[in-house]
Amino acid sequence: MTPTGRGVSPKVALVTGAARGIGRMCALRLAEKDFSIALVDLLLPEMEQVKEEIERQGGRAICLQADVADHSRAKEIVSEVQTKLGRIDFLLNNAGKPMPKGILDITEEEFDRTIAINLKSCFNYIQPTASLMRAAGEGRIVCMSSLNAYSGGVTAAVSRFAYAAAKAGILGMVRALAKELGPQIHVNAICPGLIATEVPKNEVINARGAEIAENGIALKRIGCTDDVAQLVTFLATSDPCFITGQAFVVDGFQFQM
């Protein structure tokens, strides 16, 4: 699925967690590929800055403020994007939130909120978007999981079991939906390792980043947001595409967890 040429209605990408970090970079890279971008985040001022960046490079973007854990708001947003931009060709479920508390310290409310933001949010946006994609006859979906889905987090990670459980749940969801929604819709996951973002500061990277990069990552560096965005862009635009139901680890081969 490649973006259409000039003079033809452009492809549209909906990106959650788009105000900063990986989501921001993915939105910028997709805009460079001539996608119109629907930005979704709670952080409105930061999201508006991303919109301005996209517009400065000649692209089009709209801002939609939302708590991604809210199912009814997700349906409203998908409907609004359809009305304003005419279609949704690519969905990036990127929004997430860390949870550093362990099993003996976390509250039920904190656990439920971690699952809602990191896992349920994918369901919230896939359900209404998949209906539009099916009607259009094609679509691409990528969900942002994490290396923690495999490692369990804890050591070289800010988050612990609740976040790891949510991100592991994404892998099962992606594999199941690849079967359920194929062949029209491709569904994949990405599992980033240690990625340096502008905010919030990663305590592990600040305290141990240089040590982990030197002794525990084959490429001997911490990842950057563009490392992830390049793969997202490929999965959104590759044509032909024989890839679905997969989880791509982007970690420089991190063997020290």
Could you give the residue numbers annotated as active site?
163
Token pair 């199941």: residue? 176
Q: If phi over 0 gives left and psi between -120 and 50 gives alpha, with beta otherwise, what is residue 137?
A: left
Interatomic CA distance for residues 210 and 222, integer angstroms: 8
Could you say which DSSP state residue 217 is in? B
Interatomic CA distance for residues 231 and 68, integer angstroms: 23
Nearest to 148 by CA among 108, 113, 100, 104: 100
Helix (H, G, I), strand (E, B) or coil at 242: coil
CB-based contact 23:51 (threshold 8 Å): no
Q: How many CB atoms lie within 10 A of CB 241?
A: 16
Looking at the chain, how many residues does it have?
A: 257
Q: At what angle do helices 225-237 and 21-32 cross, to 10 degrees?
A: 40
